[in-house]
Amino acid sequence: MTIHEHDDRAVHGRIHDSIIPSYLLSKLAKSGRYPEAAASARQTLIGTPPSEHRAQLQLSIDENGALVATVEAAPNRTISDAHGTENLPGSVVRTEDGPAVADVAVNQAYDGLGATFEMLLDAFQRNSIDGNGSPLDATVHYGSGYDNAFWNGSRMVFGDGDGQVFQNFTASTTVIGHELGHGVIQHTAGLDYQGQPGALNESCADVFGALTEQHLLGQTADQATWLIGAGIFTPAVHGKALRSMLHPGTAYDDAELGKDPQPADMSGYVQTTDDNGGVHMNSGIPNRAFALFAVALGGRAWETAGSVWYRTLSSGLPSSATFAQFAAATIAEADKVSRSTGAAARAAWTTVGVIKAAGDGRSAR
């Protein structure tokens, strides 16, 4: 059986909402330079799959001196440890309001879940991933040298990486925000994980990941790196991240891993049966559209650009949406904000070739 056959089985199985694309794991699986990483990648590719709400009481004094009690949304986090096995959920090691522990990965997961919760609540008034205060559960130290992080439909799961190419997946806030973003998508548009709707699924998860990091750091669109997965490569790899939203195809260029294959516009759209029809590759096109839109608007991306994308996901978008359908829906939402916001959205989608420029007879795929 070939690596690509393993790849397809893995993608259609438990790890389909994972941060590391199957094509990158397939490349790594053949590496002669990193034998331990290659073995870990092969094991990751062929691995087998694996409501309680919380609020916090806030007390304040009104203008008449009376005590006022209000209930506000609050995260409900539970972090478990798989201890190097592939058994979920693992043993509980930290719960909500518990103190930090000695394990860095546990604390990083806890903080990343909290950062995503706060971004969703502040930017979109969304109480957790389902909008109803669902718990945020995560498992760390999954598998032995496991080269991925994934959302399994109910929890975040983090591998530790192989140590040669990938390191601890909890180290990147964008990875955590991305995977929880799949949960939000699951509870809103439910975009199919195949072809263009699958690439939109991956792209919107990247948007949530980028916005989580920017919200945590208080960055404007101009200040942001727009990188997804920065910090999970070891220093041995010639690359800065898994993906660049603003400049797709530039995130890494390594002798063993090859060059980042993401296209920046529809002229490079990849027709393939691998990677569920290129969901991780072609996501670079809508990724760039969002980043261009946010940068053109300026300010904090979660406030206007992010809200447009979020409202699109929540507005009855079909699960089979194509790039062109998604673009039209985001432009319609942007037009509701202002004429200039709508114009910025149109310009972004035109730049990446999903909609045609005025007077251009071409159409998107």
pLDDT the model gives residue 169: 94
CA distances from 164 to 12, 160, 173, 261 (A): 27, 11, 21, 21
Q: Which residues are catalytic?
A: 179, 280
Interatomic CA distance for residues 124 and 312, integer angstroms: 12
pLDDT the model gives residue 65: 61
pLDDT tens string, the chain, 365 residues long: the values are 222 323 333 333 334 467 777 777 777 777 777 777 777 777 676 554 443 334 444 445 556 665 444 446 788 999 999 999 999 999 999 999 899 999 999 999 999 999 999 999 999 999 999 999 999 999 999 999 999 999 898 899 999 999 999 999 999 999 999 999 999 999 999 999 999 999 999 999 999 999 999 999 999 999 999 999 999 999 999 999 999 999 999 999 999 899 999 999 999 999 999 999 999 999 999 999 999 999 999 999 999 999 999 999 999 999 999 999 999 999 999 999 999 999 999 999 999 999 987 655 444 55
Query: Which H/E stretch holds residue 359?
Result: none
**What's the pTM value of the predicted model, to 2 decimals?**
0.84
Quote the tokens at residue 158: 């983090």
pLDDT the model gives residue 66: 59
Helical H runs in 65-172? 104-124
Domains and CATH numbers, the chain: 3-351 (1.10.390.10)
Contacts of residue 327, Cβ cutoff 8 Å, sequence gap at least 6: 289, 345, 349, 354, 355, 364
Question: Could you check whether the bond before residue 89 is cis, i.e. omega within 30 degrees of 0?
Answer: yes
pLDDT the model gives residue 9: 31
